[in-house]
Structures are given as structure tokens and as C-alpha cells.
Amino acid sequence: MARVCEMCGKGPVSGNRIIRKGLRKSKGGIGLHTTGITRRRFLPNIQRVRAIVDGVSRRVNVCASCIRAGKIVKPTSL
């Protein structure tokens, strides 16, 4: 399954995982020191739901923020 929202195009974003050691200056220490930086991925919350697209009910991959915002219309059950 592709990790891309079919409504807004939201996809994976890369970033860093930063490991720090030490006590913060505000807590009375000499400050935090970075001991390691690792690349990581922030993945969107993609859900596979039924939605009405062009008048037809079909399954689409959409992110949770689009579902909450009401950007998709779910089919009514009889």
C-alpha cells in the first residue's frame, strides 16, 4: 500500500532523531550535548476506507486528517 493520501497528497517526510546527553542549563547543568543523529521517517496516518468518488463507492487511501476534516463522503448503508 502506498503511503500517500489520495485526497491531499500527504506522504512520508524525512527528519532526524537526535540523542542528547546531559542536564539542561535551566535545570542547573552545563547544557545538553548531542551524541548521535539518525535519519528517520515521519509517516502519515493512512487509512483504507470506502468513499464515494465520482458517484461510485470505492476504497481509497486517505489520511486521518482528511477523514476528520470531512473531505471524503462515506456511502450510506441501507
pLDDT of residue 2: 79
Q: What pLDDT score was predicted for residue 7? A: 93
Give pLDDT, residue 76: 85
With 90 as the cut, is the pLDDT of residue 45 above it? yes
**Does 1 have pLDDT greater than 70?**
no
CA dist 16 and 23 (Å) reads 21
Contact 51, 73 (CB under 8 A): yes
| pTM more than 0.85 | no
Rounded average pLDDT over 65-72: 94
- Residue 48, burial from CB neighbour count under 10 angstroms (0-12, 13-18, 19+): exposed
Q: Is the pLDDT of residue 78 over 60?
A: no
3-state SS class at 66: helix
